[in-house]
């Protein structure tokens, strides 16, 4: 029996989960708290005896040490009567298990989370699980990471590791428990220590949401039972080198560690294959010796590929993956196996002449358009929910997800590989991770023990992520770059792991001694600013690489607000801008909506009801999010100070929030979502707030020609005041832009508030992009000199109150639904039937069930559209048929100046 910290390889074996206990339901309506599930004990896990197998523990029973008086030896012995303990899933924090068991009311509703006593989680908790093996002929190991914050580990009554050694959320551990395991039932028990992100190298929530009372203490990744023979295979990976720019050849180098786990010499045969390419080598190993086995093109010519299948980000090409299979045999018997998938691609990210980081994939530059990722607040893993959000990212035209800490399990990156979504993982700010360099911000200074722990964390994550083609960098700092000692440890670990992509010093404008300048900026904003802000080439405006930025609050739909807040809270939401909002942030900077609400009132007029507040919020969020992505898209090909990347802060929230999200916790979509979707469409016509130019941006690879751009200006009553059409517009590919025309600085008869309709048609006259703006002859005025880290003050607001004078514009709709397999598609045609001139502004179509509840998730071809009298658009909604829960589909049509109505869609 011994403890061995090792670098983790990615394991192909799927986790066995207690789905009943710790998964999420994204489509169930969470009004009243769910009934408590029956009390059950974790299932006993059956472990196969096959050499090279890995089996995830299926779950645990857990209990507070304050309620357990028995010894550790007793608790960790088979047959221990864990009466009254709580069941927990295979990946579960303490609180996630208690929530699944019905101990507390829905923490996503109102202030229920405040009622959960934090004191219950200030003591260690036991995690106990049984597993069976049929025989002891193979060696047995426990293989795991994801412990928060630390754990003493016991097997069959014996301690096999101490909390001082099993510490940190990201460190990987392998315990050889062969001498303790017996045929039949075995028990493993973890005594989990409380978590404090300011004191432990784990995970924290910074100012994203109200932190969970247990601070996520628990085990949030699989604990695997591995079986094997005398020779173990570890650290299998493939180093790829692609010929750029030809992409005509690639060299593959296969590496793995062969380790003799016996006290006698062994001669092993390591054999492998990648598709039809096979290779093999004999390796002599002394007692307990480990050697790295390498197969390279020099000795295996087949590893030099001609015409390789190249992996591309979504929209740029396909996402082919290769598979590596390795076997170690001793005396003709299989001793261990390893399996790894990988992609062939090349990533570069040099600094441009302005010092900004410019990414390219396979030799082609691209503008990073991303969002900041949040897992579920209680770290409950739900593959379907994660996949739904990644599909939303593609629907929005985003190409990148940034993970600041909270680096997700293996399956997340498998999905990103499959969908072609780039990822930017890295360490988080504002707690222990940056405690040595962050000045007066939270986070303890490091002790001598923290340095090897951080290095081990880096080594484990590097080994886990390196073969994923979706991973294009690791950010070793966030708000601050590491100091020289910490950076060296990180870089040494990355080098040892054959890390293949650029290492970035920080997500902010910082430098580190070896990695140098980050090439990124973190200059905000994080709270409300007007749409025109984004066009300035300063602060958070559209120049360089902005690693996290947005206009702050994102008010959800009325459906979601009523689902997450009490009536009193809803009244406060629209009536009291200075009141603290529990569902915004624990930060005093972001505790209220005052900046946002003042702007909403100043630009659109004071809200008259909750419904009016929400409809104004959706209008404001649509224009602001659209402007953010449009400005960065327009400036990406500038000759000086181009924009190279923008990460919307944030893509989603881990709970029910009023703060930083493109869609809400339940995956409902409003103005922020559809503003981003509009801005990032493949071929796009847009208005520039800074110089009034009408620009065509082409996000496709192929150039476009023969385009026609038409721009028309209207007063709110629909009176046309300006109209110009430009033909023969040509635009290059890969993010190129072309200016079609520039609007005059003044137009006779134009009202203070006015509408601009932009329509782009292809050479056949088909409309390919439609974009409608609500603008003012009175601009927003920014006080740049008083810019703070989170916003720039606005001294005068644009006057958009004229929108409130718009007459009601009736919109008719017809809808029908077809189903194929597990998927349904509802097709909706909306038409402005007004007999006069009034347009229907921001017409929203929601798919609902017969009770009027949204059917989610759903992907719309377009939504929140604006129509002039006689105009019609056909929209499609695609969704899982099961998410109707047996109901007939209906569509609810509403808009800024359109009466709400609901009609059948079956």
- Catalytic site residues? 479, 548
Query: In this structure, are residues 522 and 566 in contact, taking their beta carbons and an 8 Å threshold?
Result: no
- β-pair type (859-860, 872-880): antiparallel
d(CA 99, CA 88): 10
d(CA 370, CA 646): 6
Query: In this structure, are residues 311 and 268 in contact, taking their beta carbons and an 8 Å threshold?
Result: no
880 contact partners, CB below 8 Å, separation of at least 6: 822, 823, 824, 857
DSSP string over 837-884: S--EEEEEEEEE-TTSPBP-S-EESS-SEEE-TT-EEEEEEEEEGGGG
26 contact partners, CB below 8 Å, separation of at least 6: 382, 384, 385, 388, 666, 667, 856, 857
Compute the C-alpha angle 114/118/123, nearest 5°: 165
- Ranges of H-type helices in 635-728: 671-679
d(CA 318, CA 321): 10
Omega of the bond prior to 857 within 30 degrees of 0, cis? yes
The total of other beta-carbon atoms located within 10 Å of residue 576's CB is 14
d(CA 263, CA 481): 45
- β-pair type (503-504, 794-796): unpaired
Tell me the three-class secondary structure of 94-115, residue by residue: HHHHHHHCCCCCCCCCCCHHHH
400 φ/ψ sector (left φ>0, alpha ψ -120 to 50, else beta):
beta
The total of other beta-carbon atoms located within 10 Å of residue 32's CB is 9
φ, ψ of residue 329 to 5 degrees: the values are -125, 145
Query: In this structure, are residues 509 and 522 in contact, taking their beta carbons and an 8 Å threshold?
Result: yes
Query: In this structure, are residues 759 and 770 in contact, taking their beta carbons and an 8 Å threshold?
Result: yes
Helix (H, G, I), strand (E, B) or coil at 724: strand
Query: In this structure, are residues 155 and 141 in contact, taking their beta carbons and an 8 Å threshold?
Result: no
Tell me the three-class secondary structure of 34-91, residue by residue: CCCCCCCCCCCEEECCCCCCEEECCCEEEEEHHHCCCCHHHHCCCCCCCCCCEEECCC
Tell me the three-class secondary structure of 467-479, residue by residue: CCCCECCEECCCC
Helix (H, G, I), strand (E, B) or coil at 319: coil
């Amino acid at each position: 029996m011994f403890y061995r910290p090792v670098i983790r390889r990615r394991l192909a074996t799927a986790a066995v989960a207690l789905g009943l206990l710790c998964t999420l339901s994204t489509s169930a309506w969470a009004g009243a708290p769910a009934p408590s599930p029956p009390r059950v004990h974790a299932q006993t896990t059956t472990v196969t005896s096959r050499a090279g197998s890995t089996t995830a523990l299926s779950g645990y029973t857990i209990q507070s040490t304050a309620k357990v008086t028995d010894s550790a030896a007793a608790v960790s012995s088979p047959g221990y009567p864990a009466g009254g303990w709580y069941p927990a899933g295979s990946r579960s924090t303490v609180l996630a298990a208690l929530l699944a068991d019905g101990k507390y009311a829905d923490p996503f509703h109102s202030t229920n989370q405040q009622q959960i006593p934090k004191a219950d989680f200030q003591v260690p908790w036991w995690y106990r699980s049984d597993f069976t093996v049929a025989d002891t002929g193979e060696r047995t190991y426990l293989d795991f990471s994801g412990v928060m914050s630390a754990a003493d580990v016991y097997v069959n009554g014996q301690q096999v590791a101490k909390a001082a050694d099993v510490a940190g959320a990201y460190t990987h551990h392998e315990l050889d428990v062969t001498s303790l395991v017996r045929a039949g039932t075995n028990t493993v028990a973890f005594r989990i220590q409380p978590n404090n992100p300011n004191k432990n190298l784990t995970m924290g929530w910074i100012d994203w949401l109200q932190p969970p009372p247990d601070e996520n203490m628990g085990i949030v990744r699989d604990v695997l039972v591995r079986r094997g023979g005398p020779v173990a295979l570890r650290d299998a990976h493939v180093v790829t080198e692609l010929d750029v720019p030809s992409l005509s050849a690639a060299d593959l180098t296969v590496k793995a560690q062969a380790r003799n786990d016996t006290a006698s010499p062994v001669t092993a045969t390591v054999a492998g294959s990648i598709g039809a390419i096979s290779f093999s080598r004999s390796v002599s190993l002394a007692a307990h010796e480990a050697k790295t086995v390498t197969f390279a093109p020099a000795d295996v010519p087949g590893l030099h590929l001609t015409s390789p299948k190249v992996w591309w980000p979504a929209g740029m090409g396909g996402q082919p993956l290769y598979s590596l299979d390795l076997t170690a045999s001793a005396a003709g018997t299989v001793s261990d196996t390893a399996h790894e998938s990988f992609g062939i691609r090349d990533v570069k990210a040099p600094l441009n002449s302005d010092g900004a980081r410019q990414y390219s994939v396979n030799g082609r530059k691209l503008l990073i358009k991303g969002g900041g990722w949040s897992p579920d607040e209680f770290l409950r893993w739900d593959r379907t929910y994660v996949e739904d959000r990644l599909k939303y990212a593609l629907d929005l035209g985003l190409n990148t997800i940034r993970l600041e800490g909270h680096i997700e399990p293996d399956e997340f990156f498998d999905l990103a590989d499959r969908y072609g979504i780039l990822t930017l993982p890295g360490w988080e700010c504002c707690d222990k991770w940056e405690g040595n360099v962050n000045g007066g911000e939270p986070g303890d200074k490091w002790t001598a023990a923290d340095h090897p722990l951080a290095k081990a964390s880096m080594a484990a994550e590097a080994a886990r992520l390196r073969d994923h083609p979706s991973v294009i960098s690791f950010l070793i700092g966030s708000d601050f770059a590491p100091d020289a000692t910490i950076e060296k440890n990180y870089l040494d670990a990355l080098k040892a792991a054959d890390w293949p992509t650029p290492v970035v010093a920080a997500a902010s404008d910082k430098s580190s001694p070896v990695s140098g300048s980050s090439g990124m900026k973190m200059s905000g904003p994080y709270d409300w600013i007007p749409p025109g802000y984004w066009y300035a080439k300063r602060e958070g405006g559209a120049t360089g690489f902005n690693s996290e930025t947005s206009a702050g609050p994102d008010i959800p739909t009325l459906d979601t607000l009523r689902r997450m807040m009490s009536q009193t809270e809803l009244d406060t939401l629209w009536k009291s801008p200075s009141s603290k909002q529990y569902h915004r942030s624990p930060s005093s900077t972001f505790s209220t909506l005052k900046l946002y609400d003042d702007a909403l009132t100043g630009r659109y007029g004071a809200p008259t009801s909750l419904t009016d507040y929400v409809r104004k919020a959706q209008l404001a969020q649509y224009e602001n999010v659209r402007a953010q992505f449009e400005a960065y898209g327009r400036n990406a090909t500038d000759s000086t100070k181009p924009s190279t990347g923008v990460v919307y802060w944030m893509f989603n929230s881990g709970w029910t929030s009023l703060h930083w999200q493109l869609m809400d916790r339940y995956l409902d979509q409003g103005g922020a979502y559809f503003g981003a979707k509009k801005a990032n469409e493949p071929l796009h016509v847009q208005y520039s707030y800074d110089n009034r130019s009408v620009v065509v941006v082409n996000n496709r690879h192929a150039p476009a020609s023969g385009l026609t751009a038409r721009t028309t200006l209207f007063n709110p009553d629909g009176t046309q005041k300006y109209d110009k059409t430009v033909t023969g517009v040509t635009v290059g590919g890969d993010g190129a832009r072309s200016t079609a025309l520039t609007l005059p600085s003044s137009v006779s008869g134009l009202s203070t508030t006015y509408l601009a309709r932009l329509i782009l048609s292809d050479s056949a006259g088909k409309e390919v992009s439609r974009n409608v703006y609500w603008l003012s002859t009175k601009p927003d005025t920014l006080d740049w000199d008083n810019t703070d880290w989170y916003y720039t003050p606005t001294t005068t607001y644009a006057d958009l109150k004229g929108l409130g004078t718009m007459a009601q514009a009736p919109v008719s709709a017809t809808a029908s639904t077809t189903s194929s397999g597990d998927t349904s598609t509802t097709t909706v045609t909306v038409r402005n039937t007004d007999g006069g001139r009034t347009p229907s502004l921001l017409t929203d179509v929601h798919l609902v069930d017969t009770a009027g509840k949204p059917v989610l998730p759903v992907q719309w071809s377009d939504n929140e559209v604006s129509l002039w009298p006689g105009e019609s658009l056909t929209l499609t909604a695609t969704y899982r048929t099961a998410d109707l829960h047996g109901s007939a589909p209906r569509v609810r049509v509403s808009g800024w100046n359109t009466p709400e109505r609901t009609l059948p869609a079956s």
